[in-house]
Amino acid sequence: MNSPQKKLRPSGGYRKTASFQTTTLIYDATVWFCEKFVSSKSRTVDQMVQAARSGRQNIAEGSRASATSSQTELRLVNVARASLEELLLDYEDFLRHRRLPQWEMGSEEASKVRAVPRNFKKDQSDRTDPSDLTDLTDAERWVLYSRWLDVPDAAVRANAVICLIHQANFLLDRQIAALEAAFVEGGGYSEQLATARMAERRKKDQSDRTDPSNLTDLKKIPMCRLCGGLMSLRTAKGGKNPGSQFWGCVGYPICKGTSPL
Protein backbone atom coordinates (compact mmCIF):
# COMPACT_ATOMS: atom_id res chain seq x y z
CA MET A 1 0.00 0.00 0.00
CA ASN A 2 1.36 3.40 -0.94
CA SER A 3 1.93 5.84 1.91
CA PRO A 4 -0.29 8.93 1.84
CA GLN A 5 1.21 11.84 -0.07
CA LYS A 6 2.38 14.70 2.09
CA LYS A 7 0.35 17.88 1.75
CA LEU A 8 2.00 21.13 0.78
CA ARG A 9 0.23 22.81 3.70
CA PRO A 10 -1.19 21.15 6.84
CA SER A 11 -4.80 21.76 7.83
CA GLY A 12 -7.21 20.84 10.59
CA GLY A 13 -6.19 20.21 14.18
CA TYR A 14 -8.37 23.08 15.37
CA ARG A 15 -10.09 21.01 18.09
CA LYS A 16 -6.91 20.99 20.17
CA THR A 17 -6.34 24.75 19.96
CA ALA A 18 -7.02 27.00 22.94
CA SER A 19 -8.88 29.50 20.74
CA PHE A 20 -11.39 26.92 19.48
CA GLN A 21 -11.91 25.41 22.93
CA THR A 22 -12.44 28.83 24.52
CA THR A 23 -14.97 29.82 21.86
CA THR A 24 -16.79 26.52 22.45
CA LEU A 25 -17.16 27.52 26.10
CA ILE A 26 -18.41 30.94 25.00
CA TYR A 27 -20.90 29.44 22.55
CA ASP A 28 -22.36 26.98 25.09
CA ALA A 29 -22.49 29.63 27.81
CA THR A 30 -24.26 32.06 25.48
CA VAL A 31 -26.92 29.56 24.42
CA TRP A 32 -27.77 28.75 28.05
CA PHE A 33 -27.48 32.39 29.14
CA CYS A 34 -30.02 33.49 26.52
CA GLU A 35 -32.39 30.65 27.41
CA LYS A 36 -32.45 31.80 31.03
CA PHE A 37 -32.11 35.58 30.95
CA VAL A 38 -33.20 36.93 27.54
CA SER A 39 -36.74 36.83 26.20
CA SER A 40 -37.18 34.31 23.39
CA LYS A 41 -39.18 36.97 21.54
CA SER A 42 -36.21 39.31 21.44
CA ARG A 43 -34.03 39.49 18.33
CA THR A 44 -31.09 39.76 20.69
CA VAL A 45 -31.22 36.01 21.30
CA ASP A 46 -30.58 35.16 17.66
CA GLN A 47 -27.93 37.86 17.36
CA MET A 48 -25.99 36.72 20.41
CA VAL A 49 -26.20 33.01 19.64
CA GLN A 50 -25.23 33.53 15.99
CA ALA A 51 -22.30 35.76 16.96
CA ALA A 52 -21.06 33.14 19.44
CA ARG A 53 -21.51 30.37 16.88
CA SER A 54 -19.71 32.39 14.19
CA GLY A 55 -16.73 32.88 16.48
CA ARG A 56 -16.41 29.13 16.91
CA GLN A 57 -17.33 27.88 13.44
CA ASN A 58 -15.07 30.28 11.53
CA ILE A 59 -12.04 29.08 13.47
CA ALA A 60 -12.84 25.53 12.36
CA GLU A 61 -13.56 26.52 8.76
CA GLY A 62 -10.40 28.61 8.58
CA SER A 63 -8.32 25.72 9.86
CA ARG A 64 -9.67 23.40 7.17
CA ALA A 65 -9.22 26.07 4.47
CA SER A 66 -5.56 26.52 5.40
CA ALA A 67 -4.61 23.56 3.20
CA THR A 68 -5.41 25.50 0.02
CA SER A 69 -5.67 29.18 0.88
CA SER A 70 -3.82 31.12 3.54
CA GLN A 71 -5.81 34.20 2.55
CA THR A 72 -9.11 32.40 3.19
CA GLU A 73 -7.82 31.13 6.53
CA LEU A 74 -6.79 34.64 7.55
CA ARG A 75 -10.12 36.09 6.44
CA LEU A 76 -12.14 33.52 8.40
CA VAL A 77 -10.10 33.96 11.57
CA ASN A 78 -10.69 37.70 11.27
CA VAL A 79 -14.44 37.00 10.90
CA ALA A 80 -14.30 34.94 14.10
CA ARG A 81 -12.55 37.80 15.87
CA ALA A 82 -15.13 40.33 14.65
CA SER A 83 -18.03 38.08 15.72
CA LEU A 84 -16.65 37.83 19.24
CA GLU A 85 -16.27 41.61 19.39
CA GLU A 86 -19.96 41.92 18.45
CA LEU A 87 -20.88 39.41 21.16
CA LEU A 88 -18.78 41.32 23.70
CA LEU A 89 -20.83 44.45 23.03
CA ASP A 90 -24.07 42.47 23.49
CA TYR A 91 -23.02 41.28 26.95
CA GLU A 92 -21.88 44.77 27.91
CA ASP A 93 -25.21 46.17 26.70
CA PHE A 94 -27.08 43.55 28.74
CA LEU A 95 -25.35 44.68 31.93
CA ARG A 96 -25.64 48.39 31.21
CA HIS A 97 -29.32 48.33 30.25
CA ARG A 98 -30.18 46.52 33.48
CA ARG A 99 -27.87 48.68 35.58
CA LEU A 100 -25.87 45.64 36.60
CA PRO A 101 -22.18 46.01 37.52
CA GLN A 102 -19.46 45.11 35.01
CA TRP A 103 -16.24 43.77 36.47
CA GLU A 104 -13.11 45.82 36.00
CA MET A 105 -10.35 43.99 34.13
CA GLY A 106 -8.19 43.93 37.27
CA SER A 107 -10.97 43.06 39.71
CA GLU A 108 -10.71 40.03 41.97
CA GLU A 109 -13.49 38.07 40.23
CA ALA A 110 -12.19 38.79 36.72
CA SER A 111 -8.70 37.73 37.82
CA LYS A 112 -10.08 34.45 39.18
CA VAL A 113 -11.74 33.62 35.85
CA ARG A 114 -8.58 34.42 33.91
CA ALA A 115 -6.50 32.34 36.34
CA VAL A 116 -8.43 29.09 35.77
CA PRO A 117 -5.94 27.59 33.26
CA ARG A 118 -2.95 28.61 35.40
CA ASN A 119 -4.46 27.22 38.60
CA PHE A 120 -5.45 24.00 36.86
CA LYS A 121 -1.85 23.44 35.76
CA LYS A 122 -0.67 23.99 39.35
CA ASP A 123 -3.19 21.44 40.60
CA GLN A 124 -1.83 18.92 38.09
CA SER A 125 1.83 19.53 38.96
CA ASP A 126 2.08 16.33 41.06
CA ARG A 127 0.96 14.15 38.15
CA THR A 128 3.46 12.12 36.16
CA ASP A 129 1.99 13.48 32.95
CA PRO A 130 0.50 16.90 33.77
CA SER A 131 -2.05 18.21 31.29
CA ASP A 132 -3.53 21.59 30.43
CA LEU A 133 -7.07 22.61 29.48
CA THR A 134 -6.59 21.51 25.86
CA ASP A 135 -6.40 17.90 27.04
CA LEU A 136 -9.85 18.02 28.66
CA THR A 137 -13.23 17.24 27.17
CA ASP A 138 -15.72 20.07 26.68
CA ALA A 139 -17.69 18.84 29.70
CA GLU A 140 -14.58 18.72 31.91
CA ARG A 141 -13.57 22.20 30.81
CA TRP A 142 -17.07 23.51 31.58
CA VAL A 143 -16.85 22.18 35.15
CA LEU A 144 -13.81 24.37 35.81
CA TYR A 145 -15.88 27.48 35.03
CA SER A 146 -19.22 26.27 36.43
CA ARG A 147 -18.91 28.36 39.59
CA TRP A 148 -19.49 31.39 37.35
CA LEU A 149 -21.38 29.97 34.36
CA ASP A 150 -23.92 27.81 36.22
CA VAL A 151 -25.15 30.31 38.80
CA PRO A 152 -28.57 32.04 38.93
CA ASP A 153 -26.95 35.50 39.00
CA ALA A 154 -27.13 36.98 35.47
CA ALA A 155 -24.45 39.56 36.22
CA VAL A 156 -21.93 36.92 37.29
CA ARG A 157 -22.57 34.79 34.22
CA ALA A 158 -22.40 37.74 31.82
CA ASN A 159 -19.18 39.02 33.37
CA ALA A 160 -17.58 35.58 33.27
CA VAL A 161 -18.37 35.24 29.55
CA ILE A 162 -16.94 38.71 28.97
CA CYS A 163 -13.69 37.51 30.57
CA LEU A 164 -13.66 34.46 28.28
CA ILE A 165 -14.29 36.64 25.23
CA HIS A 166 -11.30 38.81 26.14
CA GLN A 167 -9.18 35.65 26.45
CA ALA A 168 -10.39 34.33 23.09
CA ASN A 169 -9.75 37.70 21.43
CA PHE A 170 -6.21 37.73 22.80
CA LEU A 171 -5.59 34.25 21.38
CA LEU A 172 -7.09 35.17 17.99
CA ASP A 173 -5.06 38.39 17.79
CA ARG A 174 -1.90 36.32 18.23
CA GLN A 175 -3.12 33.79 15.67
CA ILE A 176 -3.88 36.52 13.13
CA ALA A 177 -0.45 38.10 13.63
CA ALA A 178 1.24 34.70 13.12
CA LEU A 179 -0.79 34.02 9.96
CA GLU A 180 0.08 37.43 8.53
CA ALA A 181 3.78 36.90 9.25
CA ALA A 182 3.72 33.42 7.69
CA PHE A 183 1.99 34.74 4.57
CA VAL A 184 4.53 37.54 4.12
CA GLU A 185 7.46 35.16 4.63
CA GLY A 186 6.29 32.04 2.82
CA GLY A 187 3.60 33.31 0.47
CA GLY A 188 0.20 31.80 -0.10
CA TYR A 189 -0.79 28.39 -1.33
CA SER A 190 -0.61 29.41 -5.01
CA GLU A 191 3.02 30.51 -4.65
CA GLN A 192 3.96 27.30 -2.83
CA LEU A 193 2.14 25.18 -5.39
CA ALA A 194 3.88 26.99 -8.25
CA THR A 195 7.27 26.44 -6.61
CA ALA A 196 6.58 22.72 -6.14
CA ARG A 197 5.39 22.44 -9.74
CA MET A 198 8.49 24.18 -11.07
CA ALA A 199 10.73 21.95 -8.94
CA GLU A 200 9.06 18.83 -10.34
CA ARG A 201 9.34 20.14 -13.90
CA ARG A 202 13.03 20.89 -13.43
CA LYS A 203 13.64 17.39 -12.11
CA LYS A 204 12.08 15.91 -15.24
CA ASP A 205 13.98 18.28 -17.53
CA GLN A 206 17.27 17.19 -15.95
CA SER A 207 16.69 13.46 -16.42
CA ASP A 208 19.64 13.27 -18.86
CA ARG A 209 22.08 14.81 -16.38
CA THR A 210 24.45 12.97 -14.06
CA ASP A 211 22.67 14.36 -10.99
CA PRO A 212 18.96 14.82 -11.80
CA SER A 213 18.22 15.97 -8.26
CA ASN A 214 20.23 19.15 -8.78
CA LEU A 215 17.67 21.97 -8.63
CA THR A 216 20.06 24.93 -8.63
CA ASP A 217 18.36 26.22 -11.81
CA LEU A 218 15.36 27.07 -9.67
CA LYS A 219 17.30 30.14 -8.59
CA LYS A 220 16.89 31.45 -12.14
CA ILE A 221 13.13 31.80 -11.74
CA PRO A 222 12.51 35.56 -11.81
CA MET A 223 10.47 37.46 -9.25
CA CYS A 224 7.55 39.56 -10.41
CA ARG A 225 8.64 43.17 -10.96
CA LEU A 226 5.19 44.43 -9.95
CA CYS A 227 4.39 42.58 -6.71
CA GLY A 228 7.63 40.76 -5.87
CA GLY A 229 5.95 37.34 -5.98
CA LEU A 230 7.03 34.16 -7.78
CA MET A 231 6.57 33.68 -11.49
CA SER A 232 5.76 30.56 -13.48
CA LEU A 233 6.08 29.56 -17.12
CA ARG A 234 3.05 30.44 -19.24
CA THR A 235 2.17 29.84 -22.89
CA ALA A 236 0.69 32.69 -24.91
CA LYS A 237 -2.72 31.81 -26.33
CA GLY A 238 -2.98 34.84 -28.58
CA GLY A 239 -1.32 38.13 -29.38
CA LYS A 240 1.69 38.56 -31.68
CA ASN A 241 3.40 35.30 -30.73
CA PRO A 242 0.81 32.62 -29.93
CA GLY A 243 2.33 29.45 -28.53
CA SER A 244 5.44 31.20 -27.21
CA GLN A 245 6.40 30.89 -23.55
CA PHE A 246 6.95 33.67 -21.05
CA TRP A 247 7.11 34.22 -17.31
CA GLY A 248 3.81 35.20 -15.70
CA CYS A 249 3.09 36.14 -12.09
CA VAL A 250 1.40 33.36 -10.08
CA GLY A 251 -0.84 36.05 -8.63
CA TYR A 252 -2.64 36.53 -11.97
CA PRO A 253 -5.30 37.91 -12.53
CA ILE A 254 -4.79 40.15 -9.49
CA CYS A 255 -1.25 40.87 -10.64
CA LYS A 256 -0.52 40.96 -14.37
CA GLY A 257 3.26 41.09 -14.15
CA THR A 258 5.14 39.34 -16.98
CA SER A 259 8.76 38.81 -18.01
CA PRO A 260 10.30 37.42 -21.24
CA LEU A 261 11.71 33.91 -21.14
pLDDT per residue as tens digits for the range 147-205? 999 999 999 999 999 999 999 999 999 999 988 887 766 555 555 555 555 555 656 65
Query: Does some domain include residue 6?
Result: no
The C-alpha atoms of residue 97 and residue 237 are separated, in whole angstroms, by 65
State whether 150 and 198 are in the same domain. no
State whether 182 and 195 are in the same domain. no
What is the count of structural domains for the chain? 2
State whether 104 and 34 are in the same domain. yes
State whether 144 and 69 are in the same domain. yes
State whether 21 and 112 are in the same domain. yes
Its domain, for residue 255, covers 190-207+220-260
Query: Does some domain include residue 90?
Result: yes
pLDDT per residue as tens digits for the range 202-228? 566 555 554 544 444 555 677 778 777
State whether 65 and 156 are in the same domain. yes
Kindly give the residue spans of alpha helices, DSSP state H, lying in the chain: 18-37, 43-65, 70-97, 108-114, 116-123, 138-149, 154-186, 189-205
State whether 42 and 145 are in the same domain. yes
Q: What is the pLDDT of residue 203?
A: 60
Q: What is the pLDDT of residue 215?
A: 44
13 conformational bin, left if phi > 0, alpha if psi -120 to 50, beta if neither: left
pLDDT per residue as tens digits for the range 12-71? 588 989 999 999 999 999 999 999 999 999 999 999 999 999 999 999 998 888 766 777
Q: Would you say the pTM of this structure is higher than 0.85?
A: no
State whether 102 and 162 are in the same domain. yes
Query: Does some domain include residue 122?
Result: no
State mean pLDDT over 131-138.
81
State whether 254 and 144 are in the same domain. no
Please measure the distance between the N-terminal and C-terminal CA atoms of the chain and give it in whole angstroms. 42
State whether 252 and 229 are in the same domain. yes
DSSP string, 57-122: HHHHHHHHHTTT-HHHHHHHHHHHHHHHHHHHHHHHHHHHHTT-----TTSHHHHHHHTHHHHHHH
Q: What is the pLDDT of residue 184?
A: 66
State whether 155 and 227 are in the same domain. no
State whether 244 and 144 are in the same domain. no
The C-alpha atoms of residue 151 and residue 69 are separated, in whole angstroms, by 43
